[in-house]
Structure 1
Amino acid sequence: MRTAILDHAIDLLVTEGPAALTMRRIATGIGASTKVLYTMFGGKEGLADALYREGFARLRRAQQQVPRAADPLTALNELGAAYRAHALAEPAYYRVMFEQAVPGYRPGPEALAAAQHAFDASVDAVRACIDAGVFAPGDPHEISELLWAAAHGAVSLELAGHFPPDTAAHRFEALLAAVGRALLAEPHRPGSA
């Protein structure tokens, strides 16, 4: 029931905009009473919070489904590709997560902490790159956030239509490769002995 509610709410948000995101409208669309929605979410703020958390939960599941590659850098690159694929497959959730698609909703500390866990796989992959000597020593959380910022920028530009479909994948990969080169340990840098 919860998934049906969230899927209908995200559909309304996409097709009709934030004004359509009312408890009555959602309840009517799924054939339930508003009491059910208020019981589950407490109100529109709770619903927006649930949409935000659901977006990150889906991202986390997508990242957890990436097969583990033997090479740590390949594994990290595959997580980046999964991030992009997830954003393209679920652009409405992506907008709720990153573009404040629900006016007035600001995630609280608990929601932000839950969102941060979506990147545990990325932090672990960065740590594996550091441990294998591929990346220079550093804070895996900070490095993961830098890679996330690069991926997010490219994906956001693609979703907004600034990167055309025929070049978007190449630009995404080129950007992450450039950031990755800056993180390489000396023996792995081009031109290093």
Structure 2
Amino acid sequence: MSTTGLDRRSRRRQQTIDEILDVSVALMETEGVAALSLSAVARQLGMRPPSLYQYFPSKLAIYDALFQRGSAQIRDAQREARARAPQDQELERGMVAFSRWCMDNQVLTQLLFWRTVPGFTPSPEAFAPAEDMVNDLRSYLQQAVDKGRLHQDATSDEGIALFTSLTAGVLSQQMANEPQATYETGRYMKLMPTVLDMFYLHYRPTRGKEK
């Protein structure tokens, strides 16, 4: 989170919050996403657990903040990639940006897309960037419909569910089988263009018109 415009006290508080979140991610990388411990976070920061409660009242509050941070980052990565994409390649570039971010941030990816923490449900505020992503996707699918590249059904709830299931499924296979690979080298990542072709074929403009 940017500290621009905050007074000194607020900047220090935000810096401490960011540090707590960074340490939490590092611990989750080694101990597992669901194994986060407030005492371990405090120990890493040289802080007593009661002091940590001034920033986060519970472990679930840390997960919530991380969910919001991660979903905002992946939303912004896709928006930037689509904004720079050549015409009619926005969906492809957004999918690549999504995949790259997830491979580079596998701990947060598990928190965002897998139910790895029992009892955790993101707050509406934390979930808002994820809703933005769905709205962004629907908007770009609609643009493809308007240009005659897709059938209108592609923008339906079913179409959104299919698109996200296909892309997230490939990503899950990649992370489960070759977590150390990069977007360029992962054998499952190489299937992403094929997955998009399958989506376009399923929602071809002539869908439902063939005899």
Calculate the TM-score normalised by the size of structure 1.
Answer: 0.83
Question: Does residue 170 of structure 2 align to residue 154 of structure 1?
Answer: yes
Which position in structure 2 is the counterpart of 1:71?
87
Q: CA deviation at 1:113?
A: 4.1
- Cα distance in structure 2, aligned partners of 1:36 and 1:146: 45
Which position in structure 2 is the counterpart of 1:5?
20
Which deviations, in whole Å up to 9, do the C-alpha atoms of 1:49-97 show, x marking residues without a partner? Answer: 112222211111211220443433x111111111111110100000011
Which position in structure 1 is the counterpart of 2:108?
93
1:95-110 map, 5 Å = 95-110=110-125
Gap runs ≥5 in structure 1: none
Question: Does residue 203 of structure 2 align to residue 183 of structure 1?
Answer: yes
Letter in 2 for 1:14: E
Quick one: structure 1 residues 166 and 138, their matched pair in 2 at CA, closer, same or farther if it must change by over 3 Å? closer
1:60, 1:117 within 8 Å by CA — same for their partners in 2?
yes
Calculate the TM-score normalised by the size of structure 2.
Answer: 0.76
Letter in 2 for 1:155: L
Question: Does residue 139 of structure 2 align to residue 124 of structure 1?
Answer: yes
1:60, 1:119 within 8 Å by CA — same for their partners in 2?
no
Which position in structure 1 is the counterpart of 2:95?
80
Q: CA deviation at 1:115?
A: 2.2
Quick one: structure 1 residues 100 and 36, their matched pair in 2 at CA, closer, same or farther if it must change by over 3 Å? farther
1:37, 1:43 within 8 Å by CA — same for their partners in 2?
no
Higher helix share: 1
Task: Tell me the percent identity.
Answer: 25
Aligned length: 187
Q: CA deviation at 1:19?
A: 6.6
3-state DSSP class of the match of 1:105? coil
1:125-140 map, 5 Å = 125-138=140-153, 140=155
Quick one: structure 1 residues 157 and 18, their matched pair in 2 at CA, closer, same or farther if it must change by over 3 Å? closer
Which position in structure 2 is the counterpart of 1:54?
69
CA RMSD in angstroms, aligned pairs only: 2.6
1:41, 1:50 within 8 Å by CA — same for their partners in 2?
no
2:150, 2:204 within 8 Å by CA — same for their partners in 1?
yes
3-state DSSP class of the match of 2:55? helix
Quick one: structure 1 residues 131 and 37, their matched pair in 2 at CA, closer, same or farther if it must change by over 3 Å? farther
- Cα distance in structure 2, aligned partners of 1:114 and 1:154: 22
